[in-house]
Each structure stands twice: as C-alpha cells, then as structure tokens.
C-alpha cells in the first residue's frame, strides 16, 4: 500500500511495511520537518507582474503554503492594480507580513481560495488570517467587556469597547475609538483618529482633548459628547444654548474659546443652565479679534457652573 497524506498540512502517512530502511528518514522529512514549518516556518514570496500568484502545496514535501508565517514582497500596480494570492482549499491559519510596494492607493493584494471571495491584505501590516478552506477572514477584532491597564495601553488599529476602559498610564490609539461606557485615563491620551465616547470620558494628568469648532449661529450649541474644549467666532449677537448630553457628562469640566470677529462688539447671552458667581452674567470683551474663555463644570443635568476669563491676546 502506498503512502497517503493528511488533508490540511499534506503530511506523509506511511503504510504498514512501506519504505524499509528509509522509514525514519521519510518520517523526518515528510512529517516532523513539515510540522515544524506549519508551526514556526517563515517563507518569503515575491510577487511579480502576474495577476495571480498560487502558493505551492506539495504532498509530503516542503512548500510555501504550509509555512506559519509568510512575507510578501515585490510591487503591485504595474501590469495589474490587484494581485490575487491563492492558498489551498484547506483549513489553516496564516500570519501574513505585507512588505509589498504599491504604486498608488488603488492597488491591492488579495488573499483568497480559488473561486471564492478573498480579503485585502492591509498595506505594511502583519496580521493573522484564518480560512475554513473556502472563506478567508482576518483575525483582527477582539471584544472585551472591561479593560484595566495599570501601565500604558497601545492600540494600533481601531478600538470598539462596550465596557469600561481604565488606563493608569498612557493611552495611544492609532485608529478610531468607539466607547459605549467609561473611559478613564490617568496619563496622556493620544488619538490619531476619531474618538467617540457614548458614556463618560475622563482624561487626567497630561491629557488633552481636541478643540471642536462650534457652528456660529443665533443659538450656539456645545455637544459634550464630542469634546470638552470648544471654540466659536461670533459674527453677530448670539445666545449660548444649554449644552447637550449633560446627563452622561456629570462632573465634566472644560472651556469654550469665544472670539470676536473682525467687526467686534458682538454680545453673548446665556441659557439659564449656565450658573455664574453671584448670579452676575459676564459681558464679553468687545474689541475686534478679542478672545475670552468660558470655563465650565457640569454640576447637574441642568446646571453648568461657569466663569468667564476675559481679554486674551489673539
């Protein structure tokens, strides 16, 4: 009886009595070494001008697709904007390092099983992909109920969290961040993209928040879910409306830069939610280009304690 091979990794299965005097060598070469490749092997594949690159899949001997880690090199965007990389129709995980050079943003390399929809490999990335022999999916999203980090927390992709995030050190997020609950950061917070906090956002030592420009209109409305630092340039006499989303931001503090336009002498009235010391409503600096800063603290859903510091140099 001749040797057969395993379905997914194509390892040699020797029949009884087969390969006398070479059984051990075939076991080493056709099984043990190939398992080593499947667990820890690193293969480099250089793509060229062809639209399709098929990874080799040999029965019982070394090949490209068996390796655990595959690095793609070469250039895409010359003869073809998309190059498809075909893998065997067997279940397996792959760690892919993408070192391919792109001519422009329309170029792509796609990992797929022949005849099926694949997945585009992110430029300059190292990530894990899994296939059931038909579909290829990236292993790129992990869901946590709560995250507690006593040191620094670095997220290179997007973060979507339904529970609380508490970081004792620095929080660095390179992608978009969506939080449905509390974000508490004891160190500096660095965001390279959009931050959406549906619950409470607390930034302590060394933190910063983006300045959100408020729309100049008859009624100027700050949304506390977008930031705690705002700016508005007045082009007429305006009213500062009660901020929205105070209920999810009780205890939040922040400030609003209020700037006179080139004409100046603009006035600002305040919704009753704003509470000033001794009940005295402040008057803005009237000079053209003058900058005043309204500091506030949300005490209740209907009370925002405020004080105006006047006449900063623009």
With 0-12 CB in 10 A as exposed, 13-18 as middle and 19+ as buried, what is 201?
Answer: buried
* Averaged pLDDT for residues 167-195: 57
Phi, psi (degrees; rounded to nearest 5) at 309: -105, 125
- pLDDT value at residue 191: 56
DSSP line for 96-135: EEE--EESSTT-EEEEEETTS--EEPPTT-EEEEEEESS-
- pLDDT value at residue 204: 44
* Averaged pLDDT for residues 7-34: 92
* Averaged pLDDT for residues 296-308: 95
Q: How many Cβ atoms from other residues are within 10 Å of residue 305's Cβ?
A: 16
* Averaged pLDDT for residues 103-123: 93
Rounded to two decimals, the pTM is 0.51
Phi, psi (degrees; rounded to nearest 5) at 301: -65, -20
**Residue 207 — pLDDT band, cuts 50, 70, 90?**
very low
Q: Say if residues 276 and 306 touch (Cβ distance below 8 Å).
A: yes
Q: Identify which has the larger pLDDT, 151 or 261.
A: 261
Least confident window among 121-130, 183-192, 258-267, 292-301: 183-192
Q: How far apart are CA 201 and CA 250, in angstroms?
A: 10
**Residue 79 — pLDDT band, cuts 50, 70, 90?**
confident
- pLDDT value at residue 35: 96
**Residue 4 — pLDDT band, cuts 50, 70, 90?**
very high
Q: Say if residues 260 and 240 touch (Cβ distance below 8 Å).
A: no
**Residue 205 — pLDDT band, cuts 50, 70, 90?**
very low
| Confidence check: pLDDT of 135 > 90 | yes
- If you average pLDDT over every residue of the chain, what do you get? 85
**Residue 78 — pLDDT band, cuts 50, 70, 90?**
confident
Structure tokens, 165: 């995030």
Q: Which residues contact 204 (CB under 8 A, 6 or more apart)?
A: 184, 185, 186, 187
- pLDDT value at residue 159: 61
Q: How many Cβ atoms from other residues are within 10 Å of residue 51's Cβ?
A: 11
Q: Say if residues 125 and 108 touch (Cβ distance below 8 Å).
A: no
- pLDDT value at residue 312: 85
- The CA distances from residue 208 to 199, 201, 257, 291, in Å, are 18, 11, 15, 20
- pLDDT value at residue 74: 94
| Confidence check: pLDDT of 242 > 70 | yes
- pLDDT value at residue 181: 54
Name the β-bridge partners of 22. Answer: none
Q: Identify which has the larger pLDDT, 182 or 225.
A: 225
- pLDDT tens by residue, 251-273: 889 999 999 999 999 999 999 99
| Dihedral angle over CA of 237, 257, 247, 153, nearest 10 | 160
- The CA distances from residue 187 to 32, 153, 155, 198, in Å, are 49, 10, 15, 21
């Amino acid at each position: 009886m001749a040797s057969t091979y395993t379905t997914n990794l194509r390892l040699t299965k020797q029949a009884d009595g087969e390969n006398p005097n070479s059984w051990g060598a075939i076991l080493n070469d056709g099984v043990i070494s190939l398992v080593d490749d499947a667990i820890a092997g690193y293969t480099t594949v250089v793509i060229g001008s062809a639209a399709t690159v098929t990874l080799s899949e040999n029965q019982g001997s070394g090949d490209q697709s068996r390796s655990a880690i595959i690095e793609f090199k070469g250039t895409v965007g010359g003869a073809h904007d998309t190059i498809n990389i075909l893998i065997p129709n067997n279940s397996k995980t792959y760690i892919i390092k993408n070192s391919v050079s792109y001519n422009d943003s329309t170029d792509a390399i796609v990992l797929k099983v022949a005849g099926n929809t694949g997945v585009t490999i992110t430029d300059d990335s190292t990530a894990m992909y899994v296939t059931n022999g038909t579909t290829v999916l990236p292993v790129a999203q992990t869901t946590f109920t709560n995250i507690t980090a006593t040191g620094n927390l670095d997220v290179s992709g997007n973060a979507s969290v339904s529970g609380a995030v508490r970081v004792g050190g620095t929080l660095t997020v390179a992608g978009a961040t969506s939080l449905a609950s509390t974000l508490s950061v004891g160190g500096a917070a660095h965001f390279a993209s959009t931050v959406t906090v549906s619950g409470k956002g607390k930034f302590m030592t060394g933190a910063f928040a983006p300045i959100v420009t408020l729309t100049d209109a008859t009624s100027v409305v700050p949304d506390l879910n977008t930031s705690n630092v705002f700016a508005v340039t007045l082009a007429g006499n305006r009213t500062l409306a009660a901020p929205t989303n105070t209920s999810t931001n009780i205890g939040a503090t922040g400030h609003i830069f209020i700037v006179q336009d080139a004409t100046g002498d603009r006035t600002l009235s305040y919704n009753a939610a704003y509470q000033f010391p001794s009940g005295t409503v402040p008057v803005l600096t009237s000079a053209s280009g003058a900058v005043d800063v309204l500091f506030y603290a949300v005490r209740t859903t209907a009370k925002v304690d405020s004080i105006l510091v006047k006449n900063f140099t623009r």
